[in-house]
């Protein structure tokens, strides 16, 4: 866990972030708005966050994950994956409980890097199209699919921040994260440009607010170990218990 306070960037419309190190993680309770499939077909969704990774691993880093932290019952996840020593940003949606059916998109090597502020947006059109944007530019370069795709698999599982499951183990993220937001809509290029705001970051309320299902600005810790949801849905982030507790610090 990192306790140092970093100098805030005044240019941003926000100033705080969660710092993850080693086995730090946080969770958000399940809600129907976060599930991609309610029995048949799929539904649109978009995820956005500002990220600043500070370390590489030997296999992968779990940035965002919905589902069980195991080889089965995974729903969707954003991972930073090392393949033969080269890192790629992946987003995967699973189509069955065993994880043998999935669709995904992968960015090119070097698109997501360490020790740099980066705005990441992932969109899903509710059918089979996933797009990944880094600093407002669409960067997904290749499909990473398995099995015969029909629809997303979705049941009641919490969301994890700062950890994910990849290659037979739980993988943790080292770095900073802020301004996580989830919409029940595929954000457009115009929406993403607005969020990025020339690198200065704009509040998620300014973009498709009627579709905004969760928004965590990481402004302050409330109720001892929680981060407030800025929407009226009141779905708080819960910080994991020690020793894996992420710290609230100034955005670097």
Q: Is residue 161 part of a domain?
A: yes
pLDDT tier for residue 40 given thresholds of 50, 70 and 90: low
Q: Is residue 59 part of a domain?
A: yes
**Residues 182/47, Cβ–Cβ less than 8 Å:** yes
Question: Which of 26-40, 111-125, 170-184 has the least mean pLDDT?
Answer: 26-40
pLDDT tier for residue 4 given thresholds of 50, 70 and 90: very low
CATH (domain of 51): 2.60.120.200
Q: Is residue 208 part of a domain?
A: no
Query: Residue ranges of the alpha helices (H) in the chain?
Result: 189-196
Q: Is residue 234 part of a domain?
A: no
Domain count, the chain: 1
- The predicted pLDDT at position 29 comes to 97
Q: Is residue 214 part of a domain?
A: no
**Residues 91/65, Cβ–Cβ less than 8 Å:** no
**Percent of the chain topping pLDDT 70:** 94
Whole-number Å distance between alpha carbons of 64 and 86: 20
pTM confidence score: 0.93
Q: What average pLDDT score do residues 144-166 get?
A: 93
**Residues 107/141, Cβ–Cβ less than 8 Å:** yes
Q: What domain range is 38 assigned to?
A: 31-199
Q: Is residue 19 part of a domain?
A: no
**Percent of the chain topping pLDDT 90:** 83
DSSP letter (8 states) at residue 146 = B
Q: Is residue 204 part of a domain?
A: no
Whole-number Å distance between alpha carbons of 11 and 77: 30
Q: Is residue 252 part of a domain?
A: no
| Mean pLDDT computed over every residue of the chain | 91
* More confidently predicted of 62 and 9: 62
Whole-number Å distance between alpha carbons of 31 and 106: 27
Nearest to 20 by CA among 199, 155, 157, 173: 173
- The predicted pLDDT at position 59 comes to 84
pLDDT at 51 over 60: yes
């Amino acid at each position: 866990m990192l306790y140092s306070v970093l100098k805030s960037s005044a240019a941003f419309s926000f100033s705080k972030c969660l710092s993850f190190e080693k086995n730090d993680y946080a969770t958000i309770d399940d809600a129907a708005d976060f599930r991609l499939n309610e029995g048949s077909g799929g539904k649109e969704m978009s995820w956005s966050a500002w990220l600043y990774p500070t370390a590489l691993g030997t296999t992968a880093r779990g940035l965002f994950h919905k589902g069980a932290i195991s080889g089965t019952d995974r729903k969707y996840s954003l991972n930073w994956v090392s393949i033969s020593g080269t890192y790629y940003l992946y987003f995967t949606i699973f189509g069955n409980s065993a994880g043998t059916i999935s669709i995904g998109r992968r960015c090119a090597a070097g698109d997501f890097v360490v020790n740099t502020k980066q705005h990441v947006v992932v969109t899903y059109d509710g059918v089979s199209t996933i797009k990944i944007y880094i600093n407002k530019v669409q960067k997904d370069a290749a499909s990473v699919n398995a099995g015969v795709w029909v629809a997303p698999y979705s049941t009641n599982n919490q969301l994890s921040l700062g950890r994910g499951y990849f290659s037979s183990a739980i993988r943790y993220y080292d770095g900073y994260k802020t301004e996580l937001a989830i919409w029940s809509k595929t954000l457009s290029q115009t929406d993403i440009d607005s969020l990025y705001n020339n690198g200065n970051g704009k509040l998620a309320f300014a973009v498709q607010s009627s579709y905004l299902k969760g928004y965590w600005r990481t402004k302050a810790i409330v109720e001892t170990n929680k981060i407030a949801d800025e929407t009226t849905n009141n779905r708080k982030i819960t910080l994991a218990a020690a020793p894996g507790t992420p710290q609230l610090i100034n955005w670097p």
